[in-house]
Structure 1
Amino acid sequence: MTGRRTFVIVDGENIDATLGNSLLGRRPTPEERPRWERVTTYAEHLWGQPTQGLFFLNASSGQLHTPFVQALLAMGYRPVPLSGGNDVKVVDVGIQRTLEAIAQRGDDDPVDVLLCSHDGDFAPQAGALLDAGHRVGLVGLREFMSTALTGLGLEVHDLEDDVAAFLSPLPRVRIIPLEEFDPAYFLR
């Protein structure tokens, strides 16, 4: 692939944990998870360039959830199943290494990144990407984004509001800018 392009890098464990622990209080059902094909479509339109999705998976158990991997492949994502010891956050390390590799690429292969995660562990790598001239955006639930990431001045794209990645509304409580406040919503 030549020309400027976008990598959508998905930390699926982080997105799932945020949905389950912070919003739902239980493991999300398949219907409550993001429609990942909407994320890559959004990314293509956002910066008007080809997009490749990389979905990082923890495969330390030695097992892959084959139907999910097949669904990722059908949506054009490249699954990245990683394994390691119990003391290693394999998905985080894999994403960190990938972001570092992108930052080291020369100007002859311009790459931008949309990182789907709330995890501040990626702030050093995201900062290095910015310093190297790459566009970097965040995709997730705005109110759960790490301040280590948002403090870098990264573009934040809300998975529900901007990307429209969910089939039904999430049970979120968010700060409403007064100019967007619609009392009718609360009077139903």
Structure 2
Amino acid sequence: MPVDKTSYLLVDGENIDATLGNSILGRRPHPDERPRWDRLLAFTQERWAQPAKGLFFLNASTGLPMAFVQALRALGYVPVPLSGSAEDKVVDIAIQRTLEALGERDDDVMLVSHDGDFLEAITPLMDGQRRVGLIAFEEFRNSGFHDLVRQGMEFFDLEHDTRVFNAPLPRLRIIPIEEFDPQQFL
């Protein structure tokens, strides 16, 4: 009898928000410009055709954003509020530890981040026994992920593949010729 697997969706919300704000919009994103997190969880479940458990890591060192935490819970996520000193990258530390702990399980892993700090912890999970994926803005993901994609990591562009934004973002992206539509530029 086959063992049922779960897809663990690990969200580095700070990283996504910072990349969206600093690198794409050039300002703090408005609420309607942020990803629809429920769609991201649904995308993971549908893409890998199995239950997905979303863990949303938050730096709560200066307080817990209760409205956001309640919204995450209502969307089906498990909020992971963390605290530490100003020098501690608490979200990175927690995600690294979670990736290491998942090495003891057979479940699949989908990471939502651009951060190269996770390369060392995610590489051992690419053991051929599980699916490992990355969701990020392609042009901003750490270059170390390119090698992992060549080794079998699945990659999904946060905007174009997952369709979690309500409006197109002002991104300059390289367009594969088979996807080129001149109408977008006319």
Give the TM-score, by structure 1 length. Answer: 0.93
**Residues in 2 aligned to 1:125 and 1:38: alpha-carbon distance in whole angstroms:** 26
How far apart are residue 132 of structure 1 and its match? 6.7
Any runs of at least 4 consecutive aligned residues in structure 1 with deviations exceeding 3 A, and if so which? Answer: none
Alignment of 1:139-158 (within 5 A): 139-153=135-149, 154-158=153-157
How many pairs are equivalent? 181
What is aligned with 1:122? 118
What is aligned with 1:16? 17
How far apart are residue 133 of structure 1 and its match? 2.5
Q: Which runs of 5+ in 1 are unaligned?
A: none
What is aligned with 1:102? 102
Q: CA RMSD in A?
A: 1.1
The answer on 1:159 being equivalent to 2:154 is no
What is aligned with 1:53? 54
Deviations along 1:17-46, one digit per CA (max 9) or x if unpaired, are 000010011111111100000011011111
What is aligned with 1:37? 38
Does structure 2 conserve the Cα–Cα contact (< 8 Å) formed by 1:122 and 1:149?
Answer: no
**Residues in 1 aligned to 2:59 and 2:146: alpha-carbon distance in whole angstroms:** 26
Give % identity: 56
The letter of the residue matching 1:133 is Q
**Residues in 2 aligned to 1:9 and 1:54: alpha-carbon distance in whole angstroms:** 5
Give the TM-score, by structure 2 length. Answer: 0.94
**Residues in 2 aligned to 1:38 and 1:172: alpha-carbon distance in whole angstroms:** 20
Q: Which runs of 5+ in 2 are unaligned?
A: none
**Residues in 2 aligned to 1:55 and 1:132: alpha-carbon distance in whole angstroms:** 26
**Residues in 1 aligned to 2:145 and 2:130: alpha-carbon distance in whole angstroms:** 15
What is aligned with 2:71? 71
